[in-house]
Chain A
Amino acid sequence: MLQQIIALIIILYFIIRLLLQKQKQQISKNEFIFWFIFWIFSAVAISSLKWIDKLAINFGFSSSGIDILLYIGIIILFYLIFKIRLKLENIEKNITKIVRKDALEKIKKYDK
């Protein structure tokens, strides 16, 4: 019970920070919606641990509800890292395009 309360306080802190960042326009609308829903779901999941425990048992898992949440959290993290890597790959390609364009435009200065 105490652990759930601490976790909910931490989630509340993150939600408040998120709202402040949105107010200062430090994040886009889509990013705000994504993380807001994420933290709400997290809060609901933490609050419903006993129900998740029963669900896990019904599905035949030996782990407790909190373990299931941890596994799901890790899977989500790996997926997000994968998406970030793909985005970085595209950013690198775009940087190369710009650097190439610049090199080809400045050719006259170095040509003899």
Chain B
Amino acid sequence: MGSRCIDPILKNPTKARDDIQIKMNQNIFIIIPAFNEEKNIAQVIKNLLEHNYQIVVVDDCSTDNTFEILKQFPITVLKHEINRGQGAALQTGTDFALKNNAEIIVHFDADGQYLVNEIQQTLVSLLNNEVDIILGSRFLQKNKKMPFAKRKIIHPVSRVINRLITGIKLTDAHCGYRVLSNKAGQKIKIFQDRMSHNTEIISQIKKNNLRFKEVPVTVIYNEFGQGVGSGFKILKEICLSKLSS
């Protein structure tokens, strides 16, 4: 019995390792909040499908063809009938993943900014149970592709403000890439529907004493993204939520 089991592995160790990886990946849920991403979403999903992850896209009431494009892929699509924001979409996807016994939950942007082939290497600490949550950082490696204003002005200011609000020192306070263990997914609840959910997640990491680690991620900028105006909106949302709680 033992020799019959070992034989196929010895004959093709690479395939055996790949088979094990494929089985493990089925417990990894990639949550992608999407709003009007018809230009990028198809390529992102094609790249993810090569790795046999459980892909969950939350269409946040897109007004373009995002939802129609999603239908052609063998993935799970959740649709918000009213636009609620990225934070709300992430929580919807996370709730779905937890209901389906996800061991690992990855938050991944729909705009193709992050590299799919970096996901596996970022999971190591989580798989070894060294941490409960992994936060991506665009600043742990040289990132010359980031617009100057973001790299030198907007993000440094947001780091300081984030530290003042959450008490946690991070190199990147607003990276959309993060990996949660099942335990972290159950503890962290996103109530901020819009862009201040990043700060809220960090606050909850501290509140729940979750072990965390930052890992470098490569980011490809297709457009500028959030600017100073968004920063003020985030601060306003945080203040309102503290007053209403």
| A89-B240 contact given A96-B193, A99-B81, A103-B81, CB 8 Å threshold | yes
> Which chain A residue shows the least CB distance to B191?
A93
Q: A73 CA to B70 CA in the complex, in Å? A: 54
Is A104 an interface residue, CB under 8 A from the partner? Answer: yes
Q: What's the minimum C-beta distance from A89 to chain B, rounded to whole angstroms?
A: 5
> Is the CB–CB distance between B95 and A99 below 8 Å?
no
Within 8 A of B (CB), among A55-112: 85-86, 89-90, 92-93, 95-96, 99-100, 102-104, 106-107, 110-112
| A86-B244 contact given A92-B193, A111-B76, CB 8 Å threshold | yes
Q: Which 3 A-B pairs have the closest CB atoms?
A: A110-B77, A103-B78, A89-B244
> Is the CB–CB distance between B78 and A107 below 8 Å?
yes
Instruction: Please tell me the number of chain A residues within 8 Å of chain B, measured between CB atoms.
Output: 18
Contacts of B243 in A (CB 8 A): 86
Residue of A89, A100, A102, A111 touching B77 (CB-CB under 8 A): A111
Q: A12 CA to B84 CA in the complex, in Å? A: 43
B interface majority secondary structure: mixed
Within 8 A of A (CB), among B74-110: 74-82, 84, 88, 91-92, 95-96, 99
Contacts of A93 in B (CB 8 A): 191, 193
Residue of A95, A100, A112 touching B92 (CB-CB under 8 A): A100
Q: A103 CA to B75 CA in the complex, in Å? A: 15
Contacts of B70 in A (CB 8 A): 110
> Is the CB–CB distance between B91 and A112 below 8 Å?
no
Q: What's the minimum C-beta distance from A82 to chain B, rounded to whole angstroms?
A: 8
Contacts of A95 in B (CB 8 A): 82, 84
> Is the CB–CB distance between A99 and B84 below 8 Å?
yes
> Which chain B residue shows the least CB distance to A103?
B78
> Which chain A residue shows the least CB distance to B99?
A104
Is B73 an interface residue, CB under 8 A from the partner? Answer: yes
In the assembled complex, 5 residue pairs joining A and B whose CB atoms fall closer than 8 Å, in A order, are: A93-B193, A95-B82, A96-B84, A104-B78, A111-B76
Is B4 an interface residue, CB under 8 A from the partner? Answer: no
- Most chain A CB within 10 A, of B78, B81, B99, B191, is at B78
| A89-B241 contact given A103-B58, A103-B92, A112-B73, CB 8 Å threshold | yes
Within 8 A of A (CB), among B47-70: 58, 70
> Is the CB–CB distance between B81 and A102 below 8 Å?
yes
Contacts of B240 in A (CB 8 A): 85-86, 89
